[in-house]
Chains A and B, each alone.
Chain A
Amino acid sequence: GQQLNQSPQSMFIQEGEDVSMNCTSSSIFNTWLWYKQDPGEGPVLLIALYKAGELTSNGRLTAQFGITRKDSFLNISASIPSDVGIYFCAGQLRGSSNTGKLIFGQGTTLQVKP
């Protein structure tokens, strides 16, 4: 199946630093979603994006839907220890392939050093 290219694969940062991760694809998406997953738990939805160019914030998190509809990024400002986890991007396809199915990136593992 299709997958998104998510990078970086992992990050180890100091508490207080800002974090940036992104996802790219050769396909055009209707929707971009960003999730956080803690070990042994289900992913939790952080931000949903529906329009090209859209910039949306949720607390210290900011995500953007790329103008080309083929990419998205997620920024976390002033990281704290509870930001630790795996972050996934996911896209919903546009056009005749629109079935609501999500295509996921491989995830970015974030570790924060206090």
Chain B
Amino acid sequence: DGGITQSPKYLFRKEGQNVTLSCEQNLNHDAMYWYRQDPGQGLRLIYYSQIVNDFQKGDIAEGYSVSREKKESFPLTVTSAQKNPTAFYLCASQFDGLVGEQYFGPGTRLTVT
């Protein structure tokens, strides 16, 4: 089955710890994206990568880091510098880095206490 997988579905961490969220796709898509969604809110872009070994900051990149060493994988690290890390995190991918349809994974709900 082709698609986007995110793991785990639920993640709990103590304040001050870094945590890495996984995103994998087997759709052969060039571009991948990370979004954050807060309750009752729309989606805000954290980081995106239009092609392997390259990535760009989105609108709310502070306190987050990413890597894109493989086409299939785009992990997101939520660092201790992120002031309000508790949120629903969504990964998406797109065939072309410039235009086209974005498809989303099932999301990871991160709770930091």
Contacts and interface: CB of A to CB of B under 8 A. Distances in A.
B94 A42 contact: no
A111 interface: no
Contacts of B98: 98-100
B42 A45 contact: no
Interface residues on chain B, size class: 20 to 34
A101 B47 CA distance: 10
Nearest to B59: A1
Given A40-B109, A42-B90, A99-B48, A106 B103 contact: no
B100 A40 contact: no
A42 B99 contact: no
Contact of A88 (B4, B42, B103): B42
Interface of A: 1, 3, 30-31, 33, 35, 40-45, 48, 88, 90, 92, 98-102, 104-107
